[in-house]
Amino acid sequence: METIRKPVVAGTFYPADENNLRDEIEQLLSEVEIDEHFENIFGIVAPHAGYKYSGATAAKVYKLIENKNYETVIVISPSHREYFAGSCIYEGDAYQTPLGLVKINNEMRDKFITGSDSIFLGNHGHNLEHALEVQVPFLQTVLSDFKIVPIVMGDQSKQYVYELAARLVDVVNEKTLIVASSDLSHFHSKQQADLLDSGVEQSIADFDYEGLLKNLEFKNCEACGGGPIAAMMKAAEILNRTNSKIIARSDSGDVTGDDSEVVGYLSAIIY
């Protein structure tokens, strides 16, 4: 019997009904105007709030990979509810959303964990985590016939970020996409959030993942998925994919009209 990771935020972060979910994502994608096409996209940064708040920002980057020929998508998420050392790859067979099942690439998953002390199989961080789950329906809409490697980082210390980056280098190929799931600052005024979030934006635009990690450590900026972003960028650098572009940045106040306490969102590509 297959072990399936069932959806836990369907009905809250996104619609639980298959047709409503498909319609919402397709509507978000239809509103995106593409000014520039990119080949050889190595990875993307995408936000993970409820689609009502961050869906438009996510759609702008997912539109850029629509119908591309990726066989495996490695989704790297922070852990919001559970601390553990290192990174946990889901030990089951598939992730499920209202749009159906996405199988795990077992062969790539096994390569990740072989000989690693900090990357392991399990359920740690997966059971209740929204940051990984919300990426999957977007992937199911823009891609076809792909598998995933779902990774949750329980500790984003530099040693774990760099270990994950080294493993990414070992396992990816030209038909692999990496998704780094991250929101930005939380519950600051719009003005303060803009100051904090512009620092993350600048680090990605400058391809400066070391600066990003340092600024996060000293709280000069906020990004709950800073580790996933840095791991993806370091792996890209080793593989000579050192172009980056910010696709969009927004905050929850753009939707709610309340600028007193906002959450920041960003989407970007590494190519």
95-118 in b/e form (b: 16+ CB < 10 A) is bbbbbeebebbeebbebbbeebeb
For 136, phi and psi rounded to 5 degrees?
A: -65, -45
Please give, one letter per residue, the 3-state secondary structure of 112-159.
HHCCCCCEEEECCCCCCCHHHHCHHHHHHHHCCCCEEEEEEECCCCHH
DSSP state of 58: H
- pLDDT of 238 reads 98
Residue 152, classed as helix, strand or coil, is: strand
- pLDDT of 76 reads 99
Tokens 């900026």 map to which residue? 221
Q: Classify 187 in phi/psi space as left (phi over 0), alpha (psi -120 to 50) or beta.
A: left
The pLDDT of residue 196 is above 90: yes
Query: Is domain 4-270 classified as CATH 3.40.50.1980?
Result: no
Q: Amino acid identity of 131?
A: A
Tens digits of per-residue pLDDT, 145-193? 999 999 999 999 999 999 999 999 999 999 999 999 999 999 999 999 9
Answer yes or no: are the C-beta atoms of 53 and 263 closer than 8 Å: yes
Distance, CA of 185 to CA of 195 (rounded, Å)? 10
Distance, CA of 101 to CA of 93 (rounded, Å)? 9
- Domain ranges across the chain: 4-270
Answer yes or no: are the C-beta atoms of 154 and 82 closer than 8 Å: yes
Answer yes or no: are the C-beta atoms of 47 and 113 closer than 8 Å: no
Tens digits of per-residue pLDDT, 75-117? 999 999 999 999 999 999 999 999 999 999 999 999 999 999 8
- pLDDT of 22 reads 98
Distance, CA of 269 to CA of 271 (rounded, Å)? 6
The pLDDT of residue 1 is above 90: no
Answer yes or no: are the C-beta atoms of 179 and 58 closer than 8 Å: no
Determine which helix (DSSP H) or strand (DSSP E) holds 167, and give its type and residue range.
helix 158-171
- pLDDT of 133 reads 99
